[in-house]
Amino acid sequence: MARSASREPEKSPATRRLTVRIETIGSGGDGVARFDGDILYTPLTAPGDLAVIDATGDRGRLIELAERSPLRTAPPCRHFGQCGGCALQHVTREEELRWKHQLVATALTRAGVETEVCAVIAAPAASRRRATFAIKRAGKTLLLGFNERRSTRITNLEVCVVLAPELAAQLEALRSVAALIPSLEFDLAVTHCDNGLDLNAIDRRLTARAVTETPGLAAAMRAAGAVRLSVNGETALALAEPTVTFDGVTVSPPPGAFLQASREGEAALLGVVRAAVGDARKIADLFSGCGTFALPLARESSVFAVDSDSLAVEALKRAAAGAQRAGLQINPVRAETRDLFERPLSAKELKGFDAVIFDPPRAGAAAQAAEIAKCGARIIVGVSCNPATFARDASLLVAGGYRLIEVTPVDQFVYSPHVELVGVFAKR
């Protein structure tokens, strides 16, 4: 029997001590430099820095700054540099917004789409109403925070400068709630709603039943200002139904429901969307969630909302019906549960709508965009948290006879490499 050839163990890339000039910021928020034709990505560096780094492969680790960029500023959070929740606290806010504007413009250019990129609408730093914390028991200590950069280690948060004050103030109280959940390691998604915090523990090994009867849980939730605790999207204990308001319409979102990251960002996005659809009488809102756009627009228009999340769709329906019963001026909202990736609405199904809005996840919605391009609606509005996939989908609409009038970036993910945007298309 022939013996198999022995395989040489793979060698780790050698580490080189280099001095490099940082040229720009990459899409992940790391500084970008070139050395001997290679591109190197180094966190915590700013354009203009002359940085001494240890380079391994295409990754650099900052050792010291030989020259400091004028674009640098003092990070506002003492956890920055260790915590992986933020990437850009070390550059000026003006530079961050300039870079995010360029991020959007570059994505469109690469996709061959030409348009005006408007000035970035910036949300305040301390405005995030949603966060997913990593939780881990380490001996007698319970860690609650965010993973360190490119690591599974957790930075145990004492403060957080991006959270809305109502959420940031409850970090210690949230630790007390997390300590009662019978799991060694899990994620805790927290949303600041109008009437308190909505919590969702995420751990496939954990059940809602295992949490429901935990002694002291209700008291700990009250101390944290929490109104509901769910496990993997199943309610374990509800002291009240959490509520959010979309233009005066009250919605009870299901556990884990998608909401825009900040109220200020949501208001900015809605303002651009509302101005774009204008006097449209019939609007289709695709990837509608529980009604961020559908319910405000139903104040003046007939709206058809579609989303794959059946619980979100039912919450939207209940909110619209409840608003009508309360005497609010709102049109009936037709809503449907449908996976728009597997079964996009066809151009025929979209025929007759004056405006179509689509707000897909980060992956974009190429199949749905291809159908929208053929539907004939006067106005198309695309909302996205990923400039690259938006640009790809925009190119399909442009090829189908639409013109991208303008794109408005909205920065509600302050200090992160993410940026939201709204693109407005008109039929040529």
CA–CA distances in Å: residue 277 to residues 283, 320, 425: 8, 20, 10
Asked if 194 and 155 count as a contact pair (C-beta separation under 8 A), the reply is no
Asked if 239 and 218 count as a contact pair (C-beta separation under 8 A), the reply is yes
Strand partners of residue 409: 421
CA distance 411 to 406: 16
Q: Cα-flanking dihedrals φ and ψ of residue 58, to 5°?
A: -100, 10
Q: Within 10 A of 244 (CB to CB), how many other CB atoms are there?
A: 26
Across 298-346, the runs of DSSP E, i.e. the strands, are 302-307, 333-337
Name the catalytic one among 86, 160, 375, 385.
Answer: 385
Q: Within 10 A of 365 (CB to CB), how many other CB atoms are there?
A: 25
Strand partners of residue 20: 51
**H helices present in 326-411, as ranges:** 347-350, 366-372, 387-399
Look at the block and give the residue holding tokens 């001997």.
36
Q: Is 86 annotated in the active site?
A: no
Closest CA to 192 of 162, 158, 217: 162
Closest CA to 396 of 113, 107, 104, 106: 113
Strand partners of residue 187: 134, 202
| 106, two tokens | 């570059």
Asked if 409 and 420 count as a contact pair (C-beta separation under 8 A), the reply is yes
| 59, two tokens | 């990754």
CA distance 176 to 181: 9
b/e per residue, 202-220, with b = 16+ CB within 10 A? bbeebebeebeebeebeeb
Residues annotated as catalytic are 385
